[in-house]
């Protein structure tokens, strides 16, 4: 029996409608600043998509494009300026950055209150303890998909393939906070198949087309494919061999149309929350 398709595109549309409704009621129009350095084609596609999303949800988008040779000092100066702007509630620096830039230094320069990607050390620490406002967009999108389809991680064995700071590690933490037993696999895992076949919920986040095949999946497992790759034919695909795994799994996300749309929807919601918190903090200041 073929797996149930977890439709992230439809769910993202619902999230964006709710964001648009709340943004319209917000006392201060939410503003997202997107900074792009250099002329990476993939980054440009992502930035344009985010601008379109913002426009659809009543969020003001500000684009700042720097030449690849502008230098890290110029980028840090721009971030400091954006940190101080009251009309900017979220700051997103499109990664990867060109050679010669320290991604860590750039991320840490963003105010934690405007770090809608949730990459700043302060926000990472809050995610670790479970007391957070912003969760990284992709892992949070995965959790929302699970919730929407009534897939409860509690008591289940969740295997996350990939240990990046952007997806793998925070994904494991969010699942752990929901009472799952979590295993993280990576390039040094001796027998990947032996581990993935234990998973009730399997999350693939490596960036290697066709890595997860049907023989690596426990019958009836939920399979979440986070990756966005291009195969030898130039077609967009994930880490999961979709056609074969869909015959084994109970639920599966497609690529495209699965986690990707939810990543962008959560970014919009994080920006909205940042704007709402800005208004709340202004109110507290008035009281004091």
What are the catalytic residues? 50, 94, 117
Q: What are phi and psi of 71, to 5 degrees?
A: 100, 150
Residue corresponding to tokens 């109110």 = 283
Give the integer Cα–Cα distance in Å for 112 and 82: 12
Residue corresponding to tokens 């700043």 = 120
Strands lying side by side in the sheet with 181-185:
4-5, 251-252, 222-225, 201-204, 157-161, 181-185
206 Cβ neighbours under 8 A, 6+ residues apart:
161, 162, 227, 239
Question: Pick from 99, 98, 146, 140: which is nearest to 116 by CA?
Answer: 140
DSSP 116: T
Question: Pick from 148, 211, 138: which is nearest to 173 by CA?
Answer: 138
156 Cβ neighbours under 8 A, 6+ residues apart:
180, 181, 200, 201
Q: Dig out the tokens for 189 from the structure.
A: 């895992």
Question: Pick from 279, 248, 267, 27: which is nearest to 134 by CA?
Answer: 267
């Amino acid at each position: 029996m073929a797996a149930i398709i977890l439709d992230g595109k439809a769910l993202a549309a619902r999230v964006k409608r709710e964001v648009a409704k709340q943004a319209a009621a917000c006392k201060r129009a939410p503003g997202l600043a997107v900074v792009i350095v250099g002329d990476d084609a993939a980054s440009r596609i992502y930035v344009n998509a985010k601008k379109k999303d913002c426009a659809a949800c009543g969020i003001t988008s500000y684009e700042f494009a720097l030449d690849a040779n502008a230098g890290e000092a110029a980028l840090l100066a721009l971030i400091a300026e954006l940190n101080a702007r009251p009309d900017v509630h979220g700051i997103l620096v499109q990664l990867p950055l060109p050679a010669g830039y320290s991604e860590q230094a750039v991320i840490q320069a963003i105010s934690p209150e405007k770090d809608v990607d949730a990459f700043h050390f302060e926000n990472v620490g809050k995610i670790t303890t479970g007391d957070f406002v912003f969760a990284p967009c992709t892992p949070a999108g995965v959790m929302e998909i699970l919730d929407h389809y009534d897939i409860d991680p509690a008591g289940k064995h969740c295997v996350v393939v990939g240990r990046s700071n952007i997806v793998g590690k925070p994904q494991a933490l969010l699942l752990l906070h929901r009472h799952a037993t979590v295993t993280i696999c990576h390039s040094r895992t001796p027998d990947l198949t032996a581990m993935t076949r234990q998973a009730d919920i399997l999350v693939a986040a490596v960036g290697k087309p066709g890595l997860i095949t049907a023989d690596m999946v426990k019958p009836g497992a939920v399979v979440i494919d986070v990756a966005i790759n291009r195969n030898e034919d130039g077609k967009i695909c994930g880490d999961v061999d979709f056609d074969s795994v869909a015959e084994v799994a109970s639920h599966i996300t497609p690529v495209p149309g699965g986690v990707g749309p939810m990543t962008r929807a959560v970014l919009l919601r994080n920006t909205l929350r940042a704007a709402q918190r800005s208004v709340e903090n202004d109110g507290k200041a008035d009281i004091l």
